[in-house]
Amino acid sequence: MADPPTGPLAGLLVADFSRVLAGPYATMLLADLGADVVKVEAPAGDDTRAWTPPVRAGISTYYLAVNRNKRSVALDLKDTEDVVLARELAGRADVVIENFRPGGLDRFGLGYDDVAAGNPGVVYASISGFGTTEQGRALPGYDLIVQAMSGLMSLTGAPDTEPFRSGISVFDVMAGMHATIGILAALNARQASGRGQHVEVNLLSSALSGMVNQTSAYVAGGVVPHRMGNSHPSLYPYEPIPCADGELIITSGNNVQFRKLCEVIGAPELADDPRFARNEDRTVNRAELRPLLIERLATRTKMEWFREIIAAGVPCGPINDVDGGVGFATEIGLRPVVEVGEGEAMVPSVRNPITFSGTPVDYRLPPPALDEHGDEIRRWLGGSTHD
């Protein structure tokens, strides 16, 4: 590579047989941290290359979101020579990651058992929709289906609306992060044992874990949660509240914060009212408290209140669109956008959220064109290059 990686995972080789979102997001995180990720694509390319609009210079922004810092090689697993190259890549890799249907790579000699037989140190990560049981392996692993079947959609929306999906493929992203955690843990275990292992993640398990307090309400408390719009089942206030020109999110996480809120809005008596003195009281009596808060907040604009309430130490914030979210992160110095590549190949990208004091994230390569690095990778693996 022209610019060798310098991050904490520099020197690791990742063979990426995944596509769409969960797997590519995981491998981009590894690549950002310095791993050399070889993205193996079918001749038609990753599905997300065709998921448009929107586009940048004719390229899907969906694809661009999760594929920086990788090299691409197109291998046709129906072609005997390409299968040999794929096996050679997996045999050299520290990490193999795939999100085929469970067992889908076995027929090519690329399943965990076959790869580990020749490469016992490999950490082999598999991401599926519903696991590898007889019943689960037959189900298609789409994020929207998991949002529906996990119960998340039953929690999303107002009480009088139909269930809604999240605005992003939240469980694909979550499963990608869980896979990354599993891979790093297995690499650490390899330091002691010298052997790798098979890491398995599925979207449904990631969903049930990631729904945290809502799934705990059921499994530990026997309570089936329901849609509450923007309200919280266990805290109040913790929702948008109207001001003179729009809504402001106010989150009072404890009694001290609520008292400060009451003082800044000019209603200190509310903090001593027995209906509202404790969080559990406020949660039960939210229908009585909400109009009292609205009455006070309606006297000023949301940004006027934002500045005063934040200054008092109570968490709050306006509801932005994505443009506003990126803009606010920029305003407070988080530098959310990085430029990857140079000249016409430069792609604006969202910064990796992790900061290291000694081995910083680097941005070496823009998302690759299909088979952009095919010839160099084929030469390295010992195969013939394309004419």
- Asked whether residue 229 is domain-assigned, the answer is no
What pLDDT score does 258 carry?
97
Do β-strands 36-41 and 55-56 pair in parallel, antiparallel, or remain unpaired? unpaired
Q: Are residues 267 and 186 in the same domain?
A: no
Q: Are residues 150 and 287 in the same domain?
A: no
The continuous run of DSSP H or E covering 123 comes out as: strand 123-128
Structural domain containing residue 278: 238-330
Q: Give the C-alpha separation, 186 to 190, whole Å.
A: 6
- Alpha helix stretches (DSSP H) within the chain: 22-32, 61-65, 80-92, 112-118, 143-150, 152-155, 170-193, 203-210, 212-219, 255-264, 279-284, 286-297, 302-311, 322-331, 374-381
The continuous run of DSSP H or E covering 103 comes out as: none
Q: Give the C-alpha separation, 143 to 121, whole Å.
A: 31
What pLDDT score does 386 carry?
61
- Asked whether residue 103 is domain-assigned, the answer is yes
- Asked whether residue 3 is domain-assigned, the answer is no
- Asked whether residue 146 is domain-assigned, the answer is yes
Q: What is the pLDDT confidence band of residue 277, given thresholds at 50, 70 and 90?
A: very high
Q: Are residues 137 and 266 in the same domain?
A: no
What does pTM read for this prediction?
0.93
- Asked whether residue 225 is domain-assigned, the answer is no
Q: Are residues 366 and 261 in the same domain?
A: no
Query: What residue type is 90 in one-letter code?
Result: A
Domain count, the chain: 2
pLDDT digits over 352-368, tens only? Answer: 999 999 999 999 999 99
Q: What is the CATH number of the domain that holds 247?
A: 3.30.1540.10
Tell me what the mean pLDDT of segment 330-347 comes to: 94
Q: Are residues 57 and 186 in the same domain?
A: yes
- Asked whether residue 224 is domain-assigned, the answer is no
Instruction: Please say if the pLDDT value at position 2 is more than 80.
Output: no
23-27, 218-222, 344-348: least confident range: 344-348
Q: Are residues 356 and 319 in the same domain?
A: no
Active site residues: 172
- pLDDT > 70: percent of the chain: 98
Q: Are residues 278 and 362 in the same domain?
A: no
pLDDT digits over 94-149, tens only? Answer: 999 999 999 999 999 999 999 999 999 999 999 999 999 999 998 988 999 999 99
Q: Are residues 69 and 194 in the same domain?
A: yes
Q: Are residues 85 and 206 in the same domain?
A: yes
Which residue among 330, 346, 370 closes a domain? 330
Instruction: Please say if the pLDDT value at position 1 is more than 60.
Output: no
Q: What is the pLDDT confidence band of residue 19, given thresholds at 50, 70 and 90?
A: very high
Which residue among 287, 311, 330 closes a domain? 330
What pLDDT score does 4 carry?
77
- Asked whether residue 27 is domain-assigned, the answer is yes
Instruction: Please say if the pLDDT value at position 376 is more than 70.
Output: yes
- Asked whether residue 218 is domain-assigned, the answer is no
Q: Are residues 55 and 183 in the same domain?
A: yes
Q: Are residues 319 and 347 in the same domain?
A: no
Instruction: Please say if the pLDDT value at position 93 is more than 80.
Output: yes
Q: Are residues 289 and 349 in the same domain?
A: no
